[in-house]
């Protein structure tokens, strides 16, 4: 079987779909929108999301219970998500100074973070300029 004829896995389908989305989606939104692709069970979507998350290709936006693609290699930086409460836009940022400060705080307190992710809710530049 050639590389171009490689069969897509459910994880591939979910990832390719998420790469095209402008906003994070819940697992059930993904399921509804991918039924025509042969994904018909919530467990299939959850398994795909779990694999993609473990592989570092997607993020879970905890406060929205939704999933979005990763912006790229973090190189040990903590992701920060700006979430617009009006239009739903989500932007991922990486900041070395913030990462260093969090690591220093953890070193001082002995706390071992296993999933450091920051979510900031507010209004994006477009929505805040309309006020």
For residues 65 and 4, the model is more confident at 65
* Contact (Cβ atoms closer than 8 angstroms) between residue 124 and residue 82: yes
pLDDT tens by residue, 89-101: 999 999 899 999 9
pLDDT band at 130 (very low <50, low <70, confident <90, very high): confident
Backbone φ, ψ for residue 99 (5° rounding): -60, -45
DSSP letters for 96-110: HHHHHHHHHHHHHHT
Residue 82 CA to residue 33 CA, distance in Å, equals 25
The model carries a pTM of 0.84
* Percent share of the chain, pLDDT over 90: 76
Return phi, psi of residue 126, to 5°: -65, -45
Is the pLDDT at 3 greater than 80, yes or no?
Answer: no
* Residues 69 and 57: beta-carbon distance below 8 Å: yes
Mean pLDDT for the stretch of residues 110-125: 91
- Catalogue all structural domains in the chain, each as residue range(s) with its CATH number: 1-70 (1.10.10.10), 72-131 (3.30.1490.190)
pLDDT reported for residue 6: 73
């Amino acid at each position: 079987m050639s590389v171009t004829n490689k069969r897509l896995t459910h994880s591939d389908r979910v990832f390719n779909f998420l790469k095209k989305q402008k906003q994070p989606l819940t697992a059930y939104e993904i399921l509804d929108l991918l039924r025509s692709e042969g994904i018909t069970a919530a467990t299939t979507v959850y398994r795909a999301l779990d694999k993609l998350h473990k592989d570092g290709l997607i993020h879970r936006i905890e406060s929205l219970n939704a999933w979005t693609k990763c912006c790229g290699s973090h190189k040990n930086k903590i992701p920060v998500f700006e979430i617009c409460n009006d239009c739903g836009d989500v932007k991922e940022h990486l900041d070395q100074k913030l990462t260093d400060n969090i690591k220093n705080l953890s070193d001082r307190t002995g706390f071992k973070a296993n999933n450091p992710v920051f979510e900031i809710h507010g209004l994006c530049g477009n929505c805040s300029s309309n006020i």
